[in-house]
């Protein structure tokens, strides 16, 4: 009887913890579960970066960090771009808030996508362009037509997209840029997950930036570089006026000394960074194969370090699957209920971790789906 009571109590505690975690936006490391929700590179930065931080801890805490011009030079060195094209933010979220919340008069964004672009803007300034199920691929010609019809001055495309993990081919984005250019519409391409794409160098628009004054690339460094707690993001654009408008929205010391130190040393780690991304891709690809073995689950081939799935019709809903994974297996994933898409409660998004951890998620999901099949 005592053991049964203990089991019931433990389950109730996990239920309460799950409900609390659902309301949070970080700090997951404090709670002891396996985080398959947040999207970051587990294999970077290298240990010697933490040793460098430790050696400089007194100076970093006691002194003012550098300001925007030095930060832009540091990022420019890392990505081989002139500093005048770069604006560095306290995470990409700071830049999104400035553009969506203050600069855009009409902003169009495909949905489902990363919610912050819409959340940061006044409701009356947002146009949502629905990606059609089941493919969720962006038709850039229809998107351009809708942007032009609504007189949008800023269009946003996240590629690879979140939550779908699908890349928009570069050739399509260049065609979109040409269509929007004649209508005074800036295109923001969020490439936060591009480093995990199979053909990253062929698909990124960084090398085309000088040819398109209506292009701005946003990049959250948290994702690929695994530095979520440091909060670094940047915008890259050859449009000097647009860059200056964004800069005017920044605080003078918007990054702290820890973030500055990462940017100082990041070029030293370039080979390790490339190797870490390759390792992430290998884990992700194996995870995709494992998930494809679950009966009747639709698994979208990923371009980023997370995988988008539609649950089988007979399976529990996305929120219920997420709850059961947490309560029964101590695994936390993101369900897509609430995203702007049809049947949003049938979809889940799972970040890729190590192959062993990914294998446990796949097996737990298989168990949950199989149990539902037996009852149907």
Q: Over 70: is that where the pLDDT of 42 sits? A: yes
Q: Identify the weakest region by mean pLDDT among 19-23, 266-270, 304-308, 372-376.
A: 372-376
In this prediction, residues 109-130 reach a mean pLDDT of 96
pTM: 0.94
Q: What's the pLDDT band for 8 if we cut at 50, 70, 90?
A: low
Please tell me whether residues 20 and 64 are part of one structural domain: no
Quote the DSSP letter at residue 261: H
Give the pLDDT score at 12.
Answer: 83
Q: Identify the weakest region by mean pLDDT among 12-16, 41-45, 366-370.
A: 12-16
Q: Over 70: is that where the pLDDT of 375 sits? A: yes
In this prediction, residues 296-308 reach a mean pLDDT of 98
Q: How many structural domains compose the chain?
A: 2
Q: Over 50: is that where the pLDDT of 3 sits? A: no
Assess contact for 361 and 325: CB atoms under 8 A: yes
In this prediction, residues 128-155 reach a mean pLDDT of 98
Q: What's the pLDDT band for 373 if we cut at 50, 70, 90?
A: confident
Burial profile 117-142: b = 16 or more Cβ within 10 angstroms, e = fewer: bbebbeeebbbebebeeeebbbebee
Please tell me whether residues 248 and 325 are part of one structural domain: no
**Cβ-based neighbour number of residue 111 at 10 Å:** 19
User: Of 242, 268, 294, which one is at a domain's C-terminal end?
Assistant: 268
Please tell me whether residues 226 and 92 are part of one structural domain: yes
The whole-angstrom separation of Cα 227 and Cα 38 is: 12
Please tell me whether residues 212 and 260 are part of one structural domain: yes
First to last CA, the chain: 32
SS3 for 179-218 is HHHCCCCEEEEECCCHHHCCCHHHHCCHHHHHHCCCEEEE
Q: What's the pLDDT band for 10 if we cut at 50, 70, 90?
A: confident
Mean pLDDT of the chain: 95
Using one digit for the tens of pLDDT, what is the confidence trace for 172-201?
999 999 999 999 999 999 999 999 999 999
Q: What percent of the chain has pLDDT over 70?
A: 97
Please tell me whether residues 161 and 258 are part of one structural domain: yes
Please tell me whether residues 173 and 90 are part of one structural domain: yes
Cis-peptide, bond into residue 134, ω within 30° of zero: yes
In this prediction, residues 297-301 reach a mean pLDDT of 98
- State the CATH number of the domain containing residue 363: 3.90.1150.10
Please tell me whether residues 66 and 177 are part of one structural domain: yes
Cα separation values, 294 from 55, 319, 325, Å: 48, 18, 15
Please tell me whether residues 172 and 242 are part of one structural domain: yes
| Domain extent for 359 | 2-45+271-375
Query: What crossing angle do the helices spanning 318-329 and 2-22 adopt, rounded to 10°?
Result: 130
Using one digit for the tens of pLDDT, what is the confidence trace for 158-177?
999 999 999 999 999 999 99
Give the pLDDT score at 218.
Answer: 98
Cis-peptide, bond into residue 48, ω within 30° of zero: no
Please tell me whether residues 15 and 118 are part of one structural domain: no
User: Of 268, 287, 307, which one is at a domain's C-terminal end?
Assistant: 268
Give the pLDDT score at 25.
Answer: 84
- Residues 6 or more apart whose CB falls under 8 angstroms from that of 184 comprise 153, 214
Longest dimension (CA), the chain: 74
DSSP strand E in the chain: where? Answer: 34-35, 86-89, 107-111, 126-130, 154-158, 186-190, 215-220, 233-237, 298-299, 306-310, 331-332, 334-335, 347-351
What are the phi and psi torsion angles at 186 (to 5°)?
-75, 140
Give the pLDDT score at 11.
Answer: 81
- State the CATH number of the domain containing residue 203: 3.40.640.10
Give the pLDDT score at 9.
Answer: 67
Please tell me whether residues 303 and 261 are part of one structural domain: no
Assess contact for 295 and 367: CB atoms under 8 A: no
What are the phi and psi torsion angles at 104 (to 5°)?
-75, 130
Please tell me whether residues 290 and 309 are part of one structural domain: yes
Using one digit for the tens of pLDDT, what is the confidence trace for 70-93?
999 999 999 999 999 999 999 999
The whole-angstrom separation of Cα 316 and Cα 312 is: 8
User: Of 221, 246, 268, which one is at a domain's C-terminal end?
Assistant: 268
In this prediction, residues 104-119 reach a mean pLDDT of 97
Please tell me whether residues 104 and 10 are part of one structural domain: no
């Amino acid at each position: 009887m005592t053991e049964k009571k203990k089991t019931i109590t433990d389950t109730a505690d996990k239920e309460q913890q799950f409900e609390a975690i659902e309301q949070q936006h970080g700090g997951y490391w404090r709670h002891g579960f396996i985080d398959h929700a947040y999207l970051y590179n587990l294999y970077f930065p290298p240990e010697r970066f933490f040793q460098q931080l430790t050696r400089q801890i007194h100076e970093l805490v006691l002194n003012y960090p550098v300001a925007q011009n030095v930060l832009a030079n540091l990022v420019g060195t890392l990505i081989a771009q002139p500093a005048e094209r770069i604006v560095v933010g306290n995470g990409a979220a700071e830049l999104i808030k400035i553009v969506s919340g203050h600069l855009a008069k009409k902003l169009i964004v495909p949905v489902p996508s990363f919610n912050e672009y819409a959340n940061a803007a006044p409701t009356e300034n947002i146009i949502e362009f629905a990606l059609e199920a089941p493919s969720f691929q962006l038709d850039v010609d229809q998107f351009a037509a809708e942007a032009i019809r609504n007189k949008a001055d800023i269009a946003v495309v996240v590629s690879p997209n979140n939550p779908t993990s699908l890349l928009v081919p570069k050739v399509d984005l260049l065609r979109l840029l040409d269509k929007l250019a004649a209508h005074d519409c800036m295109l923001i391409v969020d490439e936060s997950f591009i480093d995990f794409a199979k053909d990253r160098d062929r698909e990124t628009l960084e090398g085309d930036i000088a040819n398109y004054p209506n292009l701005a690339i946003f990049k959250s460094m948290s994702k690929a570089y695994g530095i979520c707690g440091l909060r670094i993001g940047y915008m890259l654009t050859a449009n000097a006026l647009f860059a200056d408008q964004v800069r005017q929205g920044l605080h003078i010391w918007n990054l702290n000394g820890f973030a500055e130190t990462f940017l100082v040393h990041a070029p030293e780690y370039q080979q390790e960074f490339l190797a870490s991304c390759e390792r992430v891709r290998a884990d992700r690809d194996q995870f995709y194969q494992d998930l494809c073995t679950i009966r009747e689950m639709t698994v979208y081939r990923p371009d980023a370090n997370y995988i988008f799935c539609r649950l089988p019709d007979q399976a529990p809903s996305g929120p219920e699957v997420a709850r059961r994974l947490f309560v029964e297996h101590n695994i936390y994933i993101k369900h897509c209920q609430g995203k702007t898409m049809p049947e949003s409660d049938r979809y889940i998004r799972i970040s890729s971790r190590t192959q062993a951890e990914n294998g446990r998620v796949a097996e737990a999901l298989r168990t949950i789906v199989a149990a539902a099949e037996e009852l149907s």
